[in-house]
Structure 1
């Protein structure tokens, strides 16, 4: 038995369960009303399965949109597979829930973000060397011709 309750991991598991439930319902019944999803995932996760050309274009993370055209949505306890259209080319994808970084349904202003947590040891080392780092991260550089989608406009103030 541990000395404390790991609320962070419990919450992540519950949020991933919510995504699993929503996608399972969509796989059975389709998207209701104006609902649609932006899902950002880590393409470096070893269990992600995407075409080589997609991985080359999105070497770190990728955002997919589940809205107008998708097929073969299958959901398991570990992740989901789906076929999406990229420039009139259907591509199958497999995304494990552990790779999901954000899940947003802008039609109802709902979103989940999974934060990565460094170990306490890493944080202590960083603070000891230079003190807390207050500099903002550098913005990401655009990747080729991909459309950049900002999720900020769906966040509540």
Structure 2
């Protein structure tokens, strides 16, 4: 029995690779022109690193802005580290790519949204159902990437 091609998972990885490539360019050259990013991520992700007071304030998700001031951007294979200013208090963050829920660059009306339909997409790359069962429930566990409307970010 052959395993079907999981296009959703492949698209998900490609979109996260796009974010990594964009951030790598910013790490090397800074933000060009009016570009800036609104990044919403899951603060409950086990690999997300943020100050306790930020996790208390944002127990499920948090949106950060990379625009005028940020420091120490370090792009890695699984995520990125950056120091951002929160009310005159610089705080380091580590955001895994698979914790990102939205990535938006309003300056060029570009946005990605990663919907979670339960479960971790990388639970087991070889077997879509670790129990070995084929109950047809794969769709409810995978995440899809799609373009997000910027209207949801406008005031």
TM-score by length of 2: 0.77
How much has 1:2 moved relative to structure 2?
3.7
Secondary structure of 1:33's counterpart equals coil
- For 2:150 and 2:54, locate their aligned partners in 1 and report how far apart those are by CA, in whole Å: 21
- For 1:99 and 1:14, locate their aligned partners in 2 and report how far apart those are by CA, in whole Å: 15
Whether the 8 Å CA contact 2:35–2:67 is kept in 1: the answer is yes
Q: Which runs of 4+ in 1 moved over 3 A?
A: 118-124
Instruction: Look up the match of 1:152.
Output: 151
How much has 1:154 moved relative to structure 2?
6.3
Q: More helix by proportion, 1 or 2? A: 1
- What stretches of structure 2 of length at least 5 have no aligned partner? 120-135, 141-148
Over the aligned positions, Cα root-mean-square deviation in angstroms equals 2.3
Question: Which of the pair has more CA radius of gyration?
Answer: 1
Q: 1:22 to 1:123 in 2, by over 3 A?
A: closer
- For 1:154 and 1:63, locate their aligned partners in 2 and report how far apart those are by CA, in whole Å: 11
Q: Once the two structures are superposed, what CA deviation does each residue of 1:7-42 show, in whole Å capped at 9, x if it has no partner?
A: 000000000000000000001100000000000000
Instruction: Look up the match of 2:114.
Output: 114
Instruction: Look up the match of 1:91.
Output: 91
Q: Say which structure, 1 or 2, has more relative contact order (CA 8 Å, 6+ apart).
A: 2
Instruction: Look up the match of 1:27.
Output: 27
| Equivalence map 1:1-157=2 (5 Å) | 2-118=2-118, 121=137, 151-152=150-151
Tell me the matched-pair count: 130
Whether the 8 Å CA contact 2:111–2:150 is kept in 1: the answer is no
Q: 1:153 to 1:56 in 2, by over 3 A?
A: closer
Whether the 8 Å CA contact 1:43–1:61 is kept in 2: the answer is yes
- For 1:84 and 1:46, locate their aligned partners in 2 and report how far apart those are by CA, in whole Å: 20
